Amino acid sequence: MEALREKKGFICDMDGVIYHGNRLLPGVKEFVDWLYREGKQFLFLTNSSERSPRELQQKLARMGLEVDESHFYTSALATARFLSTQAPGCTAYVIGAPGLFNALYDAGITMNDVNPDYVVLGETQTYNYDNIVKAVQLVRQGARLIGTNPDMTGPSENGIVPACRAFVAPIELAAGKSAYFVGKPNPLMMRTGLRMLGVHSDEAVMIGDRMDTDMIAGIETGLDTALVLSGVTSREEIEAFPYRPRLVLNGVGDIPPGE
């Protein structure tokens, strides 16, 4: 644990690590206070594409946790960055929440439901049969299929709920095309996070609640890894994977040393 505390950079997932729904998890405030007190570089890097960094900052503020907007990076921002570098000025048909639309607009990507370059999917509560059919038609006509992240499920206050990968799957099956996923464990998002922190991979740790995204992202990018059991992964489920996190914690509240 002491080696973890000595790291300069901390990349943390949010859902299942910092909060569930609108409930701050135990020990989070103490953890964030410790990060600030020790002068650590930290980033909340989330595969969720629903909210902008400002909305995430305000969400935490409503829970009583004050964190500057600069400490957030989302899969929506990573997707917008990826598309704008791959095809500047491209167009997209988008199924997602405002955080994704805003990120794409800010990157110069315009909406197009006739002949877009890309079909882009993120988490949304407006997913329905009509937009699935539209997406399938556009992909079959040549639009490239992009998912903001490969999470099949996510944690909520009411239990496990479908996430982006589950939304993309019917479109892949019907269109006969595989999506490209930008979020964790894609190294693109992790490397951007390290650049934002200004630290080398061996100076940083990835803290998350998922073996299939958070832990493998940390391992493949050369970061130390800490799995917290406050989200979707149980201690028993770790054994099903061929890789291991360096540490397994009950939650981020285990990290600050006791007084």
Structural contact between residues 164 and 186, judged by C-beta atoms closer than 8 angstroms? no
Phi and psi at 222, nearest 5°, equal 85, 15
Tell me which of 15, 151, 209, 214 is the catalytic residue: 15
Q: What is the DSSP letter of 39?
A: T
Tell me, yes or no, if 13 is annotated catalytic: yes
Q: Whole-angstrom Cα distance, residue 37 to residue 123?
A: 34
Q: Whole-angstrom Cα distance, residue 87 to residue 204?
A: 31
Q: What is the DSSP letter of 95?
A: E
Q: Whole-angstrom Cα distance, residue 39 to residue 103?
A: 29
The neighbouring-strand residues paired with 156 are: 159
Q: Whole-angstrom Cα distance, residue 253 to residue 149?
A: 27
Phi and psi at 71, nearest 5°, equal -90, 15
Tell me which of 13, 151, 214, 224 is the catalytic residue: 13
Q: Whole-angstrom Cα distance, residue 200 to residue 110?
A: 35
Tell me, yes or no, if 15 is annotated catalytic: yes
Q: Whole-angstrom Cα distance, residue 124 to residue 113?
A: 18
Helix axes 129-140 and 164-175, enclosed angle (nearest 10)? 50
Structural contact between residues 225 and 218, judged by C-beta atoms closer than 8 angstroms? yes
Q: What is the DSSP letter of 222?
A: T
Structural contact between residues 179 and 168, judged by C-beta atoms closer than 8 angstroms? yes
Residues designated as active site? 13, 15
